[in-house]
Amino acid sequence: MVNFDLKHVGVFRRKDKEHQYENTKNQETDNNMMDEDEYDASEFEDDENDMPLKVKNRRPREDNFTQQRLAAYNPVVTPRTILPLYLLIAAVFVIVGGCTLSISSKVDEIIIYYQNCTTEAPSDGTWSDMSSDHYSYSFKNNNTASVVPQWRYINDETDTSEERGTCQIRFDVPYNIPQPVYLSYLIEKFSPNHRRYVLSFSEAQLRGDAASYNTVHDNTGINCKPLVRDENGKIYYPCGLIANSMFNDTFPMELINVNDNSNNYPLTNEKINWHSDRRRYKKTKYNPDEITPPPYWIKQFPDGYNETNVPDIQEWEEFQNWMRPAAFDKFSKLIRRNGNDTLNAGLYEIDIGLHWPVAPYNGKKAIYLTHGSNIGGKNPFLGIIYLIGGCICAAMAVTILGFWTFFGRKVGDPSTLSWNRE
């Protein structure tokens, strides 16, 4: 038998306990380090050393913006600070309004209504003066025109439509009008702001796509209802109410100088719309046998479309102008211009082909001749609004000054606090 020394056994047991204690302590230390670094399984990479990557700290940076400690400005509103502000605004508004009114008053314009030409103008070849309610002259150097506009009507016996023939109008220009000169048509009592009317067109057709019936009819929101296709199944191009009702009275490419025909004033239908429209409107990809003109275009396309007469809406600026509906029932749209030549004083004639009826809704139509300015056409409304705003600010300043003078009190006086009153 082998004899064991009890002393040596006790030493072995003590060392074993110390070894277990050290292992436990090392394991706790490793766990604490893991918690501090916030490692997880997704932060390890499969490299040969199997070492974890350090996680980027997501805590916001320490500054006033991220910690929402920005300084705030809380002004104390007093009459001493408000009075100068009101007076400054009043001065700015009055100056801007006065300048705007001054510029607007220097714009010349001629407005001549011709909707009653077929019934009131002579049709026997003679000229007659127009009544005073059919024209309006506004010249900065001559408020009253010396020559009353005249008109006459030339009937077209071959045309059986409601609106037909030519209306010839003569008007006087008392002095030279500087370029650019703009000739627009003016329409009254025609309301293009109805929701169904405004949404009745096809954006796909305007972009040049050969849109199918389902595209132009079933599109949500903007679609061509109720004018989508005819009884033969052909799609209207362009479809919708806006295109169908396009203004189609014809305007000439020159103003005839009555006293000197060799000195006629040229006009053009180019650059009469926004330049950005050329990016919206594209030439169509439809085949002519797939489409048909809208119902109100039959007079212009009596035999429908063919290979040569399908309209190119990318180059048709008059159409592009009409496809931008106005907000009110009185509006004007540019149809001719001259940006290079001065309109010399004299007697001029313009011949207008009548195709667009206004009698069914008691509307009006006119020619609108004017020239450009820094603020556009003649319109005193903006200047008047600025003047009214300036006067209101000045009145407020005077009112505050009066109350401050007669009923004012010391700012920040503690004796007026509620808990200091008896």
Per-residue confidence in pLDDT tens, the chain, 422 aa = 444 444 444 444 555 555 555 555 555 555 544 444 444 444 444 444 555 666 677 787 888 888 888 888 888 888 888 999 999 999 999 999 999 999 998 899 999 999 999 999 999 999 999 999 999 988 887 655 568 999 999 999 888 888 899 999 999 999 999 989 999 999 999 999 999 999 999 999 999 999 999 999 998 889 999 999 999 899 999 999 999 999 999 999 999 999 998 899 999 999 999 888 888 999 999 999 999 999 999 989 999 999 999 999 999 999 999 999 999 999 999 999 999 999 999 999 999 999 999 999 999 999 999 997 877 788 889 999 999 999 999 999 999 999 988 888 777 777 777 776 65
**Closest listed residue to residue 119, CA positions, set 157, 158, 151:** 151
Find the angle CA(186)-CA(189)-CA(192) to the nearest 5 degrees: 85
Residue type at 100 in one-letter notation: T
Contact between 161 and 350 under an 8 Å Cβ cutoff? The reply is: no
Residue 254 lies in a domain: yes
Query: Is residue 4, in this structure, part of any structural domain at all?
Result: no
Closest CA to 185 of 384, 382, 404, 358: 358
Based on the domain organization, do 116 and 166 belong to the same domain? yes
Q: Do residues 187 and 230 both lie within one domain?
A: yes
Local structure of 383: helix, strand or coil: helix
Q: Do residues 208 and 175 both lie within one domain?
A: yes
24 lies in some domain: no
In a domain, 366, yes or no: yes
Do 247 and 347 belong together in one domain?
A: yes
- CA contacts within 13 A on the Cβ side of 67: 7
The secondary structure of residue 229, as a DSSP letter, is: B
CB atoms within 10 A of CB 300: 14
Beta carbons of 358 and 191 less than 8 angstroms apart = no
pLDDT at 112 (0 to 100): 96
d(CA 293, CA 303): 9
Which residue from 149, 283, 299 is spatially nearest to 206, judged by alpha carbons? 283
For residue 368, count CB atoms less than 10 angstroms from its CB and return exposed for 0-12, middle for 13-18, buried for 19 or more: buried
Q: Which residues pair with 352 in a beta bridge?
A: 167
DSSP string, 359-375: GGGT-EEEEEEEE--TT
**Residue 281 resides in a domain:** yes
Kindly state whether residues 252 and 394 are assigned to the same domain.
no
The predicted structure's pLDDT at residue 248: 93
Same domain membership, residue 229 and residue 84? no
Residue 7 resides in a domain: no
Q: Using CA atoms, how far apart are residues 333 and 184, in angstroms rounded to an integer?
A: 5
The answer on 242 and 95 residing in a single domain is no
DSSP assignment of 36-97 equals: HHT--GGGB---TT-PBPPPPP-SPPSSTTTTT----------HHHHHHHHHHHHHHHHHHH
- Residues 93, 164 within the same domain: no
Long-range CB contact pairs, 5-14, < 8 A, 24+: none
Question: What's the distance, CA 45 to chain centroid?
Answer: 57
CB atoms within 10 A of CB 336: 24
| Chain centroid offset of residue 41 CA | 57
* Same domain? 302 vs 269: yes
Considering only CA atoms, which of 209, 233, 213 is closest in space to residue 224?
Answer: 213
Q: What is the pLDDT of residue 56?
A: 74
Angle, alpha carbons 85-88-89 (nearest 5°) = 85
Per-residue tokens: 327: 């907000």
In a domain, 192, yes or no: yes
Is there a single domain that holds both residue 177 and residue 252? yes
- Count Cβ atoms below 10 Å from residue 62 Cβ, excluding itself: 8
CA distance 170 to 219: 48
Q: What pLDDT was estimated at residue 25? A: 52
Which tokens is 382 given? 């903006």
**Which two three-digit tokens encode residue 234?**
């052909």
CB 150 within 8 Å of CB 123: no
Number of domains in the chain: 2
Backbone angles phi, psi at 376, to 5 degrees: 95, -140
In a domain, 134, yes or no: yes
pTM of the complete model: 0.76
Residues 393 and 273 in one domain: no
> What is the span of the domain harbouring residue 93?
78-107+378-405
From residue 183, how far is each of 180, 283, 368, 376 by CA, in Å? 10, 27, 6, 13
Residues 170 and 311 in one domain: yes
First-to-last C-alpha distance (Å) of the chain: 112
Nearest by Cα to 107 from 328, 382, 322, 377: 377
What pLDDT is recorded for position 370? 93
